[in-house]
Structure 1
Amino acid sequence: MLKHLLSPLALGLLLAAPAAAQTTPPNTPPPARPAGEAGAGTGRVAGAIPVAEYYEGGQAAMYAFIAQELKYPLLAKRNRIQGRCIVSFTLNPDGTMSGIKLVKQVGGGTGDEALRVVRLLKFKKPAYPVLTSLPIDFKLGATGSNATE
């Protein structure tokens, strides 16, 4: 008898679950992306990077410097490797960086290049240590922007 009671109850729960799971209308368009969002070639990254407030000139100046210094690795260029590398570090109260490490890379030498460029950054002194991560985008343009051989 217990088996006969559980079967209709389970069937009712299975039929009701998909209807309860949908919380947004099915034809809702995805949120718009900011205009001009691109890779390191243009020096723009979506969203604000908290550690950028300690860089002279802010986030725009920081990514302009990164775009100027970034040399697209030859192996990554040849293999058309694109993507985002993430470098993590601690910004110390004296303005130096420590614990610099690669959290994510896309291959072809992009991780090493991201580490090299992040080590060149000079920050102002924060009041306390700041553990942060910094995304570095590698994006090939029509003519292979960022590519210096």
Structure 2
Amino acid sequence: MFKYLTYNVKYPIDATKNKIEGRILVTFVVEHDGSISNVDVANSVYPSLDKESIRVVRGMSKWIPGKVNGKTVRVKYTIPITFRLN
């Protein structure tokens, strides 16, 4: 997952110009079929960084769904996405 994020996150031009950096926490739900839903930003840093984080998480391929007692269940995840200028 982190390899996917590394290769797919694009630093927004306006955030680069304004030298905005930060770590965004993105929450989402892995559904019974492994698809991603309910993508949301838990802590906002800057609107274009938030938008890019949501775009990238929505673009992830299906996950292996969680299981409890042999039945697939919905699982909520929170992941950090860090934007840092060189």
TM-score by length of 1: 0.51
* Aligned counterparts of 1:120 and 1:74: Cα–Cα separation in 2: 20
| Structure showing the higher strand proportion among its residues | 2
1:131 aligned onto 2:71: no
Q: 1:140 — aligned with what?
A: 85
Point out the structure with max Rg over C-alpha: 1
Instruction: Note the residue ranges of structure 1 that are not aligned, 5 or more in a row.
Output: 1-61, 142-149
Question: In structure 2, do the counterparts of structure 1 residues 77 and 98 end up closer, same or farther at CA, with 3 Å as the change threshold?
Answer: same
Deviation digits for residues 24-70 of structure 1 (CA, Å, limit 9, x no counterpart): xxxxxxxxxxxxxxxxxxxxxxxxxxxxxxxxxxxxxx111111111
* Aligned counterparts of 2:47 and 2:16: Cα–Cα separation in 1: 8
* Aligned counterparts of 1:108 and 1:78: Cα–Cα separation in 2: 14
1:106 is paired with a residue of what secondary structure? coil
Counterpart residue identity of residue 125, structure 1:
P
Counterpart residue identity of residue 121, structure 1:
M
What's the Cα RMSD here? 1.2
Alpha-carbon deviation of 1:101?
1.1
Counterpart residue identity of residue 140, structure 1:
L
1:66 aligned onto 2:5: yes
Q: When the two structures are aligned, how many residues end up with a matched partner?
A: 80
Structural mapping, 1:29-48, within 5 Å: none
CA contact (8 A) 1:87 1:101 kept: yes
The sequence identity of aligned pairs, in percent, is 31
| Structure showing the higher helix proportion among its residues | 1
Deviation digits for residues 88-127 of structure 1 (CA, Å, limit 9, x no counterpart): 1111121012211111121151000000000111212322
Structural mapping, 1:1-149, within 5 Å: 62-122=1-61, 123-127=63-67, 128-141=73-86
Counterpart residue identity of residue 126, structure 1:
G
